Amino acid sequence: MTFATPLFLIAMLAALIPIMLHMINRQKAKTIPFSTLRFLRLSVQRTRKRKYLHDVLLLLLRVAALLLIAIALAKPTISRLGNLLGRKATSAVVLILDNSASMSTIDEGGARWDAALRVSEQLLDQLGDSDSVALLLTCGPPREELDRLYKNQEIVRQTLDECRVSSERADLALRLQTAEELLADSDAPNKEIYVVTDMQALSWETLKPSAAETAADAPPVILVDVHREMLPNVAVKGVELHSAGPVTGVPIQVKVSLQGDQSVEQQRHIELLLDGQVHETSPTITIAAGGAAEHAFRFTLNKSGIHRGEIRLTTQDAAAADDHRFFAITVDPHIPVAIVKSREHEIPYLSDTYYLERALAPVTGGNWAIRTTSLTTSALASEPLAAYSIVYCVNLPAVEAPLANRLREYVRGGGHLVWICGDNVDPVAYDAMNQMANNELLPIRLLSVREPTIDKSDGWHVGWLDPSYPAFASLSEPASLYQSILVKRHIETAPVEEGKVAVLARLDNGEPLLVERSVGSGSVLLLGTSVHVDWSNLPLRPIFLPFVAGLTFHLANAEATQPPLVAGTPIMSPWPTIDNSGIEVLRPTGEAIRLDASDANSETLRYDDTYDVGIYELHSLHPALRRQTAIAMNLDSSETAQALISPDHLQTSFGERPLVWCADPSDLASTISKLREGESLLEAFLVAVLIALVAESYEANRRIEQEQPEELRSPHKSAFPVRKLPEHWDDIVRAGTARSKN
């Protein structure tokens, strides 16, 4: 127990006053013989013992009242049990600093991040020399100097000066768990967790309710809310790219979505930047309060290679972090496609690949978007597969294990492998080949070859084409386009696994004809029939050229326009190195990082330092490969929501765990003082004083009432009771008067 004004404890000496008065009243009076009062002596002796007990009780109540008043004036407080028992009040403090993207927002009181830094400095100033402190950041790369308790607070101050706002989202629940683990290893009697945040609801999504048996014993959590009324803001919510193919000269559309806040209607302009230069500025876009708006840019790229794109607002607002978004696209003069066949045929039109080669290369010597290369199975074993966007395997026998593993690595590295069936396809051998490649060469298990029966003498027609698949969006209507395709023979497949395999086309009997499955960064597809007239009339129908060309453009475009990632997400690209040549990562800052074969395993490239927003380029260092790709890292779009969590909802999740809410950052000092000095006991002592005074008054009145004769005890008696004189008092007085005269 401690006292805010201990000088008032001197007033406890006032408790001696009732004791002194009590002792004075106990002094023996001088005895004067008065024979006529002998009749009263018997009555006095009977009540003397009872009056003594009442006197002692009244004395104790009066002493207690004066002591309690003196202690109350000294403003007593009580903190933790360790302080109450006189132990040294050292503290172990963990500071969780929210440095997510929303902390860069500018409110009416200024930037939230600046307020958070001031609060953190204020907390460090309140710590004593014997206290230990740890700093935990919610976002950013791991730092060795963090996640530990320090006696030297200067280390934490230096780290705090180097902290910056990240583009990631925060996970405060995870950081709370880390803080509790740090404090569990500390022997300090006082343990506290401070969370400095803007109370974004998404930062607490993973918080689980505390267990009842452990919540009360957990260290107290002090939440410091640096959020204030937000200024008007518009966020660039998303960017979508649409293109027929990743080749030069093909139009590209960029669809931009904007999100306004709940305050007022706003008008903004956005601009499109390509390779660092402003390409186009939008007209005025009106965004309703709490509403959304869209705008589309269209452009063409006449130069091959990686192109960096950015959409940004022309004027900054409250949250600069959500004022722009990046995108990247890789275009080539041609889409490199390999068409693999089992052998070269002496008569070209009898080859299984004849119609496919003509559809993908309809012109010769012109500037056509697709560049095809014909290969045999034997040549495929030595060909650098990563140089091709798509590999068509047409009517091949099952390949041996070494080639199967090369094809598997190609797919996992981002390639697209399309299997087309025919006479050389043995379902049993293909399934064995797929098992050797860890079931990553075929999208589905093959069963048997289906041929026309008596009731299906002509074969089967295509009954359905997926209209949601980008390559077939323009081919699904009218239905006669694909219903005219007659399939004489096809390979029956196993039942489709929902969620793993996508069926893109079905026969009129419901069986899958074209299926696709994602593997790593690439995909494998299977066409259950042939592209030669022996199995189907598909190559003779008008839909054939747009069918295979659209599929090729779509698969190549999926590789060229990598979906943007959230900042901080590792780049996981199954892009194997060749001959240990390595891969170079070009960061948004222009810094080049080389990843050798020792830095990445044989199948997967992993790059973790992606905490900066912008474009990350990946280049193969193999001289013959010349492969490259680009990935855009952007702000987590959920950070633009600015939805807050309420104190009541948070308290419900915390359960019995001690939670202190500091809504005003400038009031943190008093909050810390309250935790360190403890809870005030002033009210409790004042209540005790009142109880003592009431008890003293009651006891005093009860004593007076008991001393009165029975006939005067009445609920309506006077406040000043009058004692009744004993019987024969008049005779005694007259006898005494007569004797004195004589």
Rounded CA-CA distance 547/557 in Å is 15
Greater pLDDT, 139 or 48: 139
Residues 412-437 have a mean pLDDT of 93
d(CA 526, CA 252): 29
The model's pLDDT over 489-508, given as tens digits with 9 standing for 90+, comes to: 999 999 988 888 999 999 99
Q: List the single range of 31-45, 101-115, 354-368, 607-621 with lowest mean pLDDT.
A: 31-45
Residues 6 or more apart whose Cβ sits within 8 Å of residue 477: 467
* Closest residue by Cα to residue 272 from 318, 302, 314, 316: 314
Q: In what order do the strands lie in the sheet with 190-197?
A: 132-137, 91-97, 190-197, 221-225, 659-662
Cα 558 to Cα 335: distance, rounded to the nearest angstrom: 12
Q: Is the pLDDT of residue 85 over 50?
A: no
Instruction: Please report, as a single letter, which amino acid is at residue 131.
Output: D
What pLDDT is stored for residue 155 in this prediction?
87
Task: Give the least confident one: 200-209, 397-406, 501-510, 691-700.
Answer: 691-700
Residue type, 668: L
Closest to 242 measured CA to CA, from 329, 308, 336: 329
Q: Label residue 613 by pLDDT band (50, 70, 90).
A: very high
pLDDT for residue 444 is more than 60: yes
pLDDT tens digits for range 65-77: 777 787 777 777 6
The H or E element that residue 551 is part of is helix 544-560
Task: Give the pLDDT confidence score for residue 78 in this predicted structure.
Answer: 65
> What is the pLDDT confidence band of residue 213, given thresholds at 50, 70 and 90?
very low
Q: Give the C-alpha distances (Å, rounded to integers) separating 302 from 199, 319, 333, 334, 451.
A: 47, 35, 9, 12, 49
**Is 476 exposed, middle or buried (CB count within 10 Å of its CB: 0-12, 13-18, 19+)?**
middle
What is the average pLDDT across 388-412? 92
pLDDT, tens only, 244-278: 777 888 889 999 999 998 788 999 999 999 999 99
Most confident listed range (8-22, 144-158, 705-719): 144-158
208 Cβ contact partners less than 8 Å away, ≥ 6 residues apart: 173, 653
Residue 314 has pLDDT above 90, yes or no: yes
Is the pTM above the cut of 0.85? Answer: no
Counting residues of the chain whose pLDDT is more than 70, the rounded percentage is 80
Helix pair angle (153-162, 112-126), 10° resolution: 170
Residue 86 has pLDDT above 50, yes or no: no
Q: CB-based burial of residue 491 (10 Å sphere; 0-12 exposed, 13-18 middle, 19+ buried)?
A: buried
Q: Number of C-alpha atoms within 13 angstroms, CB side, residue 230?
A: 24
| CB atoms inside a 10 Å sphere around CB 308 | 18
Query: Taking 90 as the threshold, does the pLDDT of residue 626 lie above it?
Result: no
Q: Evaluate if residue 44 carries a pLDDT over 80.
A: no
Does residue 39 have a pLDDT over 60? no
Query: Which distant-in-sequence residues (6+ apart) come within 8 Å of 351 by Cβ?
Result: 341, 344, 345
pLDDT at 558: 62
Residue 287 has pLDDT above 90, yes or no: yes
Residue 584 pLDDT > 50: yes
When pLDDT is cut at 50, 70 and 90, the band that residue 583 belongs to is confident
pLDDT of residue 511: 93
Q: Which of 28-32, 80-84, 196-200, 705-709 has the lowest mean pLDDT?
A: 80-84
Name the nearest CA neighbour of 442 among 379, 484, 399, 476.
399
Helices (runs of H) and strands (runs of E) counted in the chain = 17, 37
pLDDT of residue 413: 78
Number of CB atoms found within 10 A of residue 174's CB: 14
pLDDT tens for each residue of 686-708: 777 778 777 777 777 766 666 55
Residue 527 has a pLDDT of: 96
What is the strand order of the sheet 583-586 is part of?
565-566, 628-634, 614-620, 583-586, 592-595
Task: Check whether 184 has a pLDDT greater than 80.
Answer: yes
